[in-house]
Amino acid sequence: MAITASFDERAGFGFTACPKPARAPIADSGPSDLWGRQCRVLRLGRSTSLRLTGLSSNQARLLGETDVVAPSNQEADVVRVEVRHASPERRERMVEFGRNSGLRWEAVDGEFEVAGRGFLAVVRQDEDGVRATFWTDAESGAVFTDAVTNFARVVLALCTWPRARVVLHSCATIGRDGRARIFFGPSGAGKSTMGALARADGRVVLSDDLNVLEIDDASGVTTFGFPWTGDFGPRGWDNVASLPVAALFRLEKGETNEVRPLRRSLALSGLATCAPFLNSRPGTSGDLLDRLNLVLDRVPSFVLRFRPESSVWEHVDRESAKS
């Protein structure tokens, strides 16, 4: 009897769970903490909007220059976010958490504290929807827009959860048959490389950063992109087309191109590793595995060992066409 387990695989990317339960006080300290009176609505994918209030004129202008500002969307889940000045103690924690440009978050009693470079936020999710307070000390430049973007990624992952969806750190390309191929793997596995190869081959990349998998009412799985589409996806907040997923490929770099079936346990663990935020959320880890397992029931999964050359698409398309 040999007992084996892969204890070294890390979940998530770019962030770790907070090592100590040291929560910031959440009590509102009055409207004087707001930066200003401006408002912007950011559209996050197909059905979620982020409505930021309390912005200064400069912050509002900066967000207006991003790709994701949209008119208010009545059909969307609207996450209401108050933007406030960071107090000194919160600023200290932001510096600590943001040192490695990562995100840290912690869930307690249905609330989430999220911290990263330039911001600290508390997200509350209840039957009335999602609300958040967002403390920042940034008013200008990329620090502010990056802080909002990183925060929005976490919020989006939370909002997709009740809708039978999973956010996946992956590269999604559209094949000649109009269906999506999803490439996943840890950082360095080759997602951006596949995005570059797709573009060079004249293929559309939905995103080489984050994609959503949605288990539909029929027997399929569809995907759609976010406003943040990585290096090779389209720009703009209207990147919300929904496409059926033909196949999932776990990436491995190699000297030859080869596709082989992926053992279910490795497919499941690989997908779970690439499901950011949700895979570190206490209380839903079993449900996340069930949801990903349902995806694997519906979509074939493979290992794609590849070298960065255009001939890789012959292998990808051949296996995708079988499903």
Bridge partners (DSSP) of residue 55 are 38
Residue 17: phi and psi, rounded to 5, are -70, 150
Question: Smallest distance, Å, CB 162 to another protein?
Answer: 18
* 227: DSSP letter: S
Name which position in 6, 32, 74, 256 contacts another protein (CB under 8 A): 6
- Which residue number, 88 or 282, has a Cβ lying nearer to another protein? 282
21 makes contact with another protein (CB under 8 A): no
89 makes contact with another protein (CB under 8 A): no
22 makes contact with another protein (CB under 8 A): no
CA gap 80, 130 in Å, rounded = 7
**What is the bridge-based pairing of β-strands 210-215 and 301-306?**
unpaired
- Which residue number, 136 or 273, has a Cβ lying nearer to another protein? 273
Residues touching another protein, count (CB under 8 A):
34
- Which residue number, 78 or 182, has a Cβ lying nearer to another protein? 182
Locate tokens 């995005």: which residue? Answer: 195
314 makes contact with another protein (CB under 8 A): no
Question: Smallest distance, Å, CB 47 to another protein?
Answer: 26
Per-position DSSP letters for 128-170, written without gaps between them: TEEEEEEEES--SHHHHHHHHHHHHHHHHHHHHGGGTEEEEEE
265 makes contact with another protein (CB under 8 A): yes
11 makes contact with another protein (CB under 8 A): yes
288 makes contact with another protein (CB under 8 A): yes
1 makes contact with another protein (CB under 8 A): yes
Q: What is the dihedral of CA 249, 12, 137, 88, to 10 degrees?
A: 180
Question: Smallest distance, Å, CB 270 to another protein?
Answer: 8
Bridge partners (DSSP) of residue 237 are none
219 makes contact with another protein (CB under 8 A): no
5 makes contact with another protein (CB under 8 A): yes
Residues 6+ apart with CB under 8 A from 236: 67, 227
- Which residue number, 36 or 300, has a Cβ lying nearer to another protein? 300
7 makes contact with another protein (CB under 8 A): yes
Do residues 154 and 131 lie in contact, with contact meaning Cβ atoms separated by under 8 Å? Answer: no
32 makes contact with another protein (CB under 8 A): no
- Which residue number, 5 or 218, has a Cβ lying nearer to another protein? 5
CA angle 35–36–40, rounded 5-degree value: 100
Per-position DSSP letters for 181-217, written without gaps between them: EEEE-STTSSHHHHHHHHHHTTPEEEESSEEEEEE-S
Encoded tokens for 274: 């690439």
10 makes contact with another protein (CB under 8 A): yes
Residue 144: phi and psi, rounded to 5, are -70, -50
Encoded tokens for 40: 């912007």
294 makes contact with another protein (CB under 8 A): no
Which residues from 167-206 bind another protein, rule CB under 8 A?
Answer: none
Residue 301: phi and psi, rounded to 5, are -125, 145
- Which residue number, 222 or 273, has a Cβ lying nearer to another protein? 273
Name the nearest CA neighbour of 247 among 217, 221, 215. 221
Name which position in 49, 170, 222, 279 contacts another protein (CB under 8 A): 279
273 makes contact with another protein (CB under 8 A): yes
Name which position in 92, 216, 287, 314 contacts another protein (CB under 8 A): 287
Question: Smallest distance, Å, CB 250 to another protein?
Answer: 13
Residue ranges binding another protein (CB under 8 A): 1-7, 9-12, 16-17, 263-266, 268-269, 272-273, 279-290, 293
